[in-house]
Structure 1
C-alpha cells in the first residue's frame, strides 16, 4: 500500500506538469516583436510610443541592469478562434521561483492605458478583440537585477547604476497569442488544492486516501492525447471529494488579498512607483473578473504615486474603493520603521496618511497594517488610538530567533496603558498563496485554539511579484468549505477584526515593546541616513514653532505647502528599509541628498520666520526651540564662555593625564584619552567604575549569520579590540583632543567640559567624535563603564521612555543585547544616576558588570558605525561626526532636558528686541513636542504635549495670544472628549496628564 501510494502521487505530479499545465493554453500564434531601449531613466508612455522600434525576436537578449526596454507586440487573432478566450503570453525571461526580484513589465494599450502587469506568476495579457482583427500592445519592461542573488549576500555592484556591470541580463522567452482553455485550467486548480491538502494529512487518515483515489480515478479518465476533450469527464471524478464539507470545528481563515511592496529596498524609489502600478493594474484586472475579490493596500504614499503618475489606474482604483473591493488599510504614509522615528514624526505618519485616505478616497482606516517592520515601539498603541484606529496587525515577530510569541490574538498595552486589539497571522507569512501547506500551518500554529477560532491570511506575491493571482482566488473558492482544510473566506480586514474581537473580547494582554529578536543592526547601519532623519525631525520642529509664532503675531504667512511637502519627504525616508539602513547604495545616496535639500530649505524657512519676529537694528537675538530653558547647556559641541554665576573650565596636566575642573565636577582623562574619573566636587561621588573608563572606543568583528545590514548576532561580543593607541593628544579649550588610527580608518575626538554651575549643565561632559571609516564587517562602539548599581535602564522612545532590564535572567531578557534609544539613555540607583545623550545615534547595549569591589556596576555603550557588505558593500565608508554627552548625577528629568538640548541648537539672528514665547508650561514634566497651525489651514494653533517623566503631571499652559476656544483633539485634530484638558480661559489652559499621556490641544486665538 505504501509503495502504491507513492507511485500514484508521482503519477499525479507528472500529469500535472507534463499534461495539464501545457494544455491550459493552446493553440498558439506567434507575436511579432519589436523593441526600443530607453536611454537612462524611465520615460513616459508618450515618449516610448513615438520612439523608433526595431525588430526583435524570442530568444533575443535585452535589458542592461536597471535599464528599461519597451517591447511592442503585434498579431492578428485567427478567425477560427471565434468564441474562445484569447490571451497574449509574454515571458521576459522570468524565474518563477522568485517573483518580485527580477524583470517586470507593465502592458499598455496603444492609447496609453495600463492593462496589467507581466510578472513571473502572471504572464498573460488579456486580448479584447474579435477574430481576424489586429492585436497590438506595448510592454514597459524593467531590467531589475536580482541584487540578492541566491541570498548568500556576496557583495555586489548591482545596487547602483554607477557600479552595475554592462550587458543585458535577460532573454525574451515567449511572445505568442494563445487560446485559454478554462476547463483545463479549473482542473489544474482542483488538482493543486487536492494534492496540497492531501500532503498535509496523516497517512492514517481516511480523508487522505479519499483524495488520493479520487485523483487516481481522474487520471484514468484523462486521455493524454486529448486533454482538452476529456478534461470535463476527468473533473467529474473530483466533484464528490471537493464537495465534502469541513468539520464544524475547523479553523476559520479570513483571506485578504495583499501585495507587500517595500517603498525602497533592493531597488530605488523610482522603481517602487512602477512596481505599485504593475501590481495595482493586476489587482484591478482580477476585480473585473471576480466581484468577490477583496484587496487590502496600505501606504498612502503608494496611492499618491498612482494619482501623480498613473491617473487612469488611480481613477479605477477609486471606483473599486467605493465598491468595497480595494481597501485602504494602515492609515500611515508608509509602512514605517517604528523604533527610530521621533514621537512627532510617528504621529505625522498617521496624520499625513489618514488625511490622504479621508480626503482622496473617503475612507478612514481603522487597522494599522505593519507586517514587516523590525519590531514595534511601546509608544505605538497610544498613537494608534489617538489616530482613530482600533486594531493592529503584524507578522514580523514570527521571525524571532529564540522566543516565540505566546499569542496570535491579544491586546497590546503601550507605555501609557493604552490597549489595542492585535493579531499576528499564524500563517507566518505576508506573501501567502493559499497553498495546502500554508493553510495547515495557520491552523496548527494558531495559539488561541479553544478561545478563538479565527485568523487572517494575507495572500499575494509582494515586492513587484504581481500581488494575488487567479490561481490563489481559485484556491480560496475550493477551500471555503472543504473537509480536512480550514474554512477560507475572502473578506476585508475590518470584517476579520470585528469578528475576532467579538469572539475573543477578553484576549490576553502583552505589555511593552514588541521587540524583534533579530535585525538589531538596523539601529546602526547607514549612519548618514539616520543622522539625516534625526536632524530633519528637529529642524521641522523649529520651523513649525517659529513659523507659527510669526503667523500668530501677524508678521509672516505660514508656509503650509512647503512644510507639508518636506514632511512627506521625511516620512517616506522613514520606511522600514530606508531608515533602518537595509537598502541598496542607490536608495541611501538619494536619501542623503534628500536630507541635504531638506536641511537647506528648513534652515531658510527658520531664518525667515525668526527675522520676521525681531526688530531691525544692531544686536543679536537668540532663539531656543527646546522646551526647557538653557540654564547652562548649549547644544552639543556648541561651546561658549562661562556666564555670570558659572565657573569657567580649568584644564591642566595631571601626572599621566589631564584634569578638567569646572568647580562642579572634576574629570580625569588619562594619556590614552580615556575618561577614568568623574567626581562630584561637593559630594565626592565617583561616576566611573573603579578601574574602568568612559569614552573607550571598541571595534568588534561583525559577521552576521544571515542578513548583513540587518543583523548583529550575539557572537560579535566575543571578539573586541579596545582602541587605546594614541597618535596625538593635546589640550584644547575646555578639554582635550585625541587622534587615533586603526585598520584602514582614523578617529579624532574632543572631550570638553561645560561651564560649572547649578543644574545638569555643570555636570555635563561632551564628546565630539569624528571617524574616517573604511572598515568591512566591523562594529564600532563607545563604551562608558559607570559606577551605578542599576537593575534596569530607561531609554527614550516616542513621547516617553521604555524600561528594560540590565540582567539576562530569562531568554527574553538575554535576547535584548542590542536595543534602540532616541536622544538619551539613563541608568540609576536610588539617589544617583547618569544619562548618556546623543544627537544622532540609535543603537545601544546596556549590561551589568563587576567592579573592582564586590559590587555590580553598569556598562552603557553607544553603537556608532557598522560596515556590512550587503546590500551596500561600502556601507558608511567616509567621514562621520557624532556628538554625545555624559550627564553625571542625572535623574530622568535631567536626561529629558539634556536630550532636547543636544538636538536643538540655540540660534541667533541679527536684530533687537525680545521674542515672546507663544506658549509657556509651568511643569517641566509636561513637554510641548509640537507647535503648529492646523492641518485644515484654518489658522488655528495646534499644540502636542506629553508627560515625559512617567508619572502624573498637572499644570498650566499659558498662551501669548488671547484664547477664543480650546478643545482636545485626536492626532487628526478632530475634537474628542477631554481626558487631559481640564479648563481654559483667555490666557491659557490647565491640563492633568497620566504617565506618558499624549495630548493634542487645538486653540482658536484672537488675532
Structure 2
C-alpha cells in the first residue's frame, strides 16, 4: 500500500471523520416500552414516558421501545453547517442491517427518517428554529445471523428468544455537521480507493498519489474545518480528470432489497419498508437527481395501509418518474416452486396493482435474489407485458459461471427475454471505487457492450441509499480510471443496453442456481400448504365461475383476490423455499391452514349451488385428463371405483388389477412392478424400490439453503425389519429408524398407478431423508414438470454443468423413458429429487430416481420440520409423458362427491391430446366474461379446440392481464368451437365474451 494512501486512511479515521461533527448537545430522552407486539403511533403518543439515560440497556428480542427526544442545536447553524439529530441505538459496525432499527416521527405522527446501523444522523428531525421534538419507534430486532456464524439460535422465535435487553442507547445528540469537511471526506475516500486499485505503473495512480500528498500538506490537522476547502482545492484537478471514452457506462439505481420475511417476521418487514421509504423520500427532497427503484406490490400495499402519508409522498415521486415501481410481481417470489398459475398470478396481481395505483405497468422483471429461475419464466413474463429481467444470484454459482452478463434468455417455449446480471455482483452496492472497478473488470460481455446496472443501497433494514453513497457516486460521474456513473432508471438502462447490443448472445433453458439446492425440501409443511392451496384455488375459481354462469350464484371475486394475494405472499423467496426463521414458518403453516379452510368453504358453497336440491350422488372433478384428447370440467354421475386386490405370496404381498401387478416383500420393499399390457418389469434385477435412505446433511454454510454433494457419501439404507401387513386393498408398512418412524399404505388406484401414502414422525437432526425408486429404463434424460410444461435434464455427469445439477426440482411429476416405454413418478407435495444411472445386473444401465422427503437443518430454524408429515407418491409403469401429466393433476386434485338434483354441463371441454386447461375463472375486471388459460404440455406443435358450453358473443386471445393480444394461437371460432394452433409449451389465455345482460 502506498505511503500516501496509508497516511490518508489514518487522517480520515483520526482527524477528518471526527471533524465532520463540529459541535454536539445532548437531548432529553424519555422512553416507553411497548408491551407485546408493535403498536401504531396513535397509541404510542398517548403513553406515559419515563426518563431514560444514555448508556442504559433497552430492548428484549423482538420488542419495541418508543423514545421521546427533545432538545436544541448547540448553536445557530452558520453557513456550511447543518444541524442533525444523531442517535446510536447500540448499533454494531459489522453489518448495515440485521439488528436494531428505528423510525422517527414528528409529534403529530408524520414519519421523518429511519435509523439503521450505518445511518445514525437525521437532518429532517430538526425544526426550523433548531429545536428537536420527535418520537422514535425503536425495534430491538436480534442479529439472528450473528456475522454469518449459522449457529443454531433460539432468537428466531419470540417465545424462545429471552427477555434480556440486547442493546444500549449509546448516544442522542443534536450535532452541527460541517458539509465542507464531509465533502473532503468523500474526496479523499474516492481518490484513495482509486489509487489503491490502479496498477503500480499507472500514470493515473502516480498523479493521484501526488495529489493526495499535496492535500495532506494543505490540511492543518489541528484545524481540519478551517483548512478543508484548501485541501479540496488541491484535489479538484484529480477529481476533474474525465473518464476515458471506452469506460464502462454504469447506470446507478437507488435500491434497498427488502426480504418480505427472512430473519424476521412479516410484521417486521412492514416496518422495514416504512423506515426505508422515509429515508428515500428524504433523500429525494435533498437531491433532485436521485432515482430509486422498488419492487413487490405487496410492500407498496403495506405502506399504503400502515403509513398513508408516506405513501402519498411516494405516489407523487412516482408521477415525477423518480420513484420507480419495478418487477411487476406481488412479491419477489421463488420461481422454481410456485405452480404455473401461481407464477402467472404473481404478475397479474403485481402489475394490476401498479396499474391501478400509479397508472404504470412496468417493463421488467426484478428478481435479484431468487434461488434459480425456471425455464417457464420468459414466456410468463412476456405474456405479462415484461421485456427484460434483472437478477444477480447466478454470481453465487459454486461450480460454473454463466458466460454472459447481458444476453437474451430463451425459455421453455422459445420465448426470449432480454436479461442483465449486474457485473458488480451485488444488489446492495455502496458505490465504492472497488465496486465500480469490479463491475468493469468482471463484465463478461465487454467486447460487445459497455453498459451495466448498479443497484446501490443497504437492504433488509439497512435503510437504503445513504448521503455518503450519493457523494461518492457524484465524484464518479466522469472520473479517469473508473466507469462513468449516471443515476437513472432501470428502464433507461435497458433501453440503452438493447440499442447498444442488438444481437445479444442467447442462453437457452433454465437458469439453474448451483447453490441453495436444499430449498427444494426445507420446511415441508410450508411447501405442502402451498401445493394444496394452489390446487384449491384452481377448484374454487372453476366451480365459482361455473356456478355464476349456470345458476347465477354470486362470484366471490373479492375473497378470491384476497386469498390469491395471501398465497402469493407466502411464495416469497425465503418463505416457500424454507429459509426463514421459525416464527415465519409457524405463521405460514397457520396461514395456509386458514386459507385451506376458507377455500374449502367456497368450493362447497359453489358445488351446493350447482348441485341444487336432490339426493343423487354426483362427482365434481377438476382434474384435466389430456390423455383422452377431451378434458371436460363439470359435475356429473360418478363411475364405480375400482380397487386392486391384495394377496399374500409367502414372502410378501401382491397387489394387482387389470393394469399393474406389484410385489412388496417382507421388508416392505417393492421388488416387482409389472406393466400388464406390455409385460414389462420396471424394477431392475437385484434391486428394490420404495427404499428410504438417510444421509448426513452438513452443508459448509447456509444450512436450510444448501445440500452439498458430499452428502452422498453417507447413505444408510433403511431396509431392515419392518412390520408389513395387508389392510383391505392396501399393503401397510411400518418402519422405525433413529428417533423417527414411518407408516406407508401401498395400493393400486385407477389409471395404472401404484399409490404410496406415507406418514413420517420425523425427529432427526442434520439428516436428509430420500425415497429411492430404481427403474429398469435406460434414460439419457429425466423429464421433470415445471410451470406449463417440463424440462429434460441429463441423468449423467458428463460435464461440470451436468454434475452440478446433483439436486433438482420438479412439480407434480417426473418421467423416465426409452423409445416405446416409460415410467412416471408423481407426487402431491415433493419438490426436490436427484436422478442418476446405475449399473444393471446382467448388463447395461438402469435409472435411479430419488425423491427428497425431509431435511433437519438447524439454522435459521433449529427445530426445522420435526414432527408428523404426510405425503403421497404414485408410480405408473408403461406411462407416456401425457400419462404423467394426467396423473400429476389427479394426485393433487381429488374427485369430490356432492348430493344434488342432477348433472351440470361443464362450461367447456378441450379437444386435443396434451392440451391442458390450467385455469377457468371470471374476468379480473368484473364484467362476467369467462377467462380460460391452457397450455400445450408435451413439447410439440399441435392443434386443439376449446368446445364452449355457454352462449357467447366472441372469443379473443388475451395476455395474462386479460388485455387483447394479436391472435397467434387462436385461428378461428366456429360457433361453440375455438380452434387453436399451438407451438410447444405455448400458454394461451382466451376471453369468452358473455352476451350483454348475462353478466355474472
Structure 1 match to 2:935: 946
Residue 870 (structure 1) aligned with residue 859 (structure 2): yes
For the 8 Å contact 2:664–2:672, the answer to whether it is kept is yes
Q: Using the TM superposition, give the Cα deviation of residue 130 of structure 1 relative to its aligned residue in structure 2, in angstroms.
A: 6.3
Q: Distance in 2 between matches of 1:158 and 1:132?
A: 43
Q: Distance in 1 between matches of 2:267 and 2:160?
A: 18
Match of 1:671 among 658, 666, 669: 666
For the 8 Å contact 2:156–2:861, the answer to whether it is kept is yes
Match of 1:658 among 650, 653, 657: 653
Residue 440 (structure 1) aligned with residue 429 (structure 2): no
Q: How does 1:825-840 map to 2 (within 5 A)?
A: 825-840=814-829
Q: Using the TM superposition, give the Cα deviation of residue 127 of structure 1 relative to its aligned residue in structure 2, in angstroms.
A: 4.7
For the 8 Å contact 2:74–2:174, the answer to whether it is kept is no
Query: SS at the partner of 2:543?
Result: helix
Structure 2 match to 1:702: 697
Q: How does 1:116-195 map to 2 (within 5 A)?
A: 116-127=113-124, 134-195=131-192
> Gaps (5+ residues) in structure 1?
632-639, 756-760
Match of 2:298 among 296, 301, 304: 301
Q: Distance in 2 between matches of 1:375 and 1:112?
A: 42
Q: Distance in 1 between matches of 2:372 and 2:37?
A: 35
Structure 2 match to 1:29: 25
Query: Cα 1:663–1:79, aligned 2, differ >3 Å: closer, same or farther?
Result: closer
Query: Cα 1:226–1:548, aligned 2, differ >3 Å: closer, same or farther?
Result: same
Q: How does 1:11-160 map to 2 (within 5 A)?
A: 11-81=7-77, 84-127=81-124, 134-160=131-157
Q: Distance in 1 between matches of 2:672 and 2:736?
A: 24
Q: Using the TM superposition, give the Cα deviation of residue 985 of structure 1 relative to its aligned residue in structure 2, in angstroms.
A: 3.7
Q: Distance in 1 between matches of 2:744 and 2:252?
A: 56
For the 8 Å contact 1:82–1:130, the answer to whether it is kept is no
Q: Distance in 2 between matches of 1:570 and 1:128?
A: 39
Structure 2 match to 1:378: 375
Q: Using the TM superposition, give the Cα deviation of residue 664 of structure 1 relative to its aligned residue in structure 2, in angstroms.
A: 2.6
Query: SS at the partner of 1:381?
Result: helix
Query: Cα 1:20–1:971, aligned 2, differ >3 Å: closer, same or farther?
Result: same
Q: Using the TM superposition, give the Cα deviation of residue 726 of structure 1 relative to its aligned residue in structure 2, in angstroms.
A: 3.1
Q: Distance in 2 between matches of 1:400 and 1:565?
A: 37
Query: Cα 1:164–1:986, aligned 2, differ >3 Å: closer, same or farther?
Result: same
For the 8 Å contact 1:555–1:613, the answer to whether it is kept is no
For the 8 Å contact 1:555–1:612, the answer to whether it is kept is no
Query: Cα 1:290–1:133, aligned 2, differ >3 Å: closer, same or farther?
Result: closer
Match of 1:266 among 263, 268, 281: 263
Structure 1 match to 2:764: 775
For the 8 Å contact 2:76–2:130, the answer to whether it is kept is no
Q: Distance in 2 between matches of 1:44 and 1:513?
A: 44
Q: Using the TM superposition, give the Cα deviation of residue 503 of structure 1 relative to its aligned residue in structure 2, in angstroms.
A: 0.5
Match of 1:202 among 199, 202, 207: 199
Q: Using the TM superposition, give the Cα deviation of residue 621 of structure 1 relative to its aligned residue in structure 2, in angstroms.
A: 1.4
For the 8 Å contact 1:81–1:131, the answer to whether it is kept is no
Q: Distance in 2 between matches of 1:852 and 1:165?
A: 58
Q: How does 1:306-705 map to 2 (within 5 A)?
A: 306-628=303-625, 643=640, 648-705=643-700
Q: Distance in 1 between matches of 2:280 and 2:432?
A: 19
Structure 2 match to 1:9: 5
Deviation string, structure 1 residues 146-167 (Cα, Å, up to 9, x no partner): 0011212111000000110221
Match of 2:947 among 955, 958, 964: 958
Structure 2 match to 1:758: none
For the 8 Å contact 2:23–2:74, the answer to whether it is kept is no
Match of 2:245 among 248, 257, 268: 248
For the 8 Å contact 1:667–1:675, the answer to whether it is kept is yes
**Structure 1 residues 128-137 or 212-221, which shifts more?**
128-137
Q: Using the TM superposition, give the Cα deviation of residue 86 of structure 1 relative to its aligned residue in structure 2, in angstroms.
A: 0.6
Q: Distance in 1 between matches of 2:534 and 2:692?
A: 28
Q: Distance in 2 between matches of 1:709 and 1:78?
A: 51
Q: Distance in 2 between matches of 1:96 and 1:986?
A: 70
Query: SS at the partner of 2:448?
Result: coil
Q: Distance in 2 between matches of 1:134 and 1:380?
A: 53
Q: Distance in 2 between matches of 1:868 and 1:408?
A: 33
Match of 2:281 among 280, 284, 295: 284
Root-mean-square deviation (CA, aligned residues, Å) is: 1.5
Match of 1:737 among 729, 732, 740: 732
Structure 1 match to 2:805: 816
Q: Distance in 2 between matches of 1:642 and 1:40?
A: 55
Query: Cα 1:493–1:131, aligned 2, differ >3 Å: closer, same or farther?
Result: closer
Structure 2 match to 1:1001: 990
Instruction: Tell me how many residue pairs correspond in the alignment.
Output: 987
Deviation string, structure 1 residues 573-614 (Cα, Å, up to 9, x no partner): 000000000000000000001101100000000000001011
Question: With structure 2 as the length reference, what TM-score do the two structures score?
Answer: 0.97
Q: Distance in 1 between matches of 2:440 and 2:945?
A: 54
Question: With structure 1 as the length reference, what TM-score do the two structures score?
Answer: 0.97
For the 8 Å contact 1:275–1:463, the answer to whether it is kept is yes
Q: Distance in 1 between matches of 2:491 and 2:896?
A: 48
Query: Cα 1:318–1:656, aligned 2, differ >3 Å: closer, same or farther?
Result: same
Q: Distance in 1 between matches of 2:911 and 2:128?
A: 81
For the 8 Å contact 1:219–1:234, the answer to whether it is kept is yes
> Gaps (5+ residues) in structure 2?
629-636
Q: Using the TM superposition, give the Cα deviation of residue 958 of structure 1 relative to its aligned residue in structure 2, in angstroms.
A: 1.1
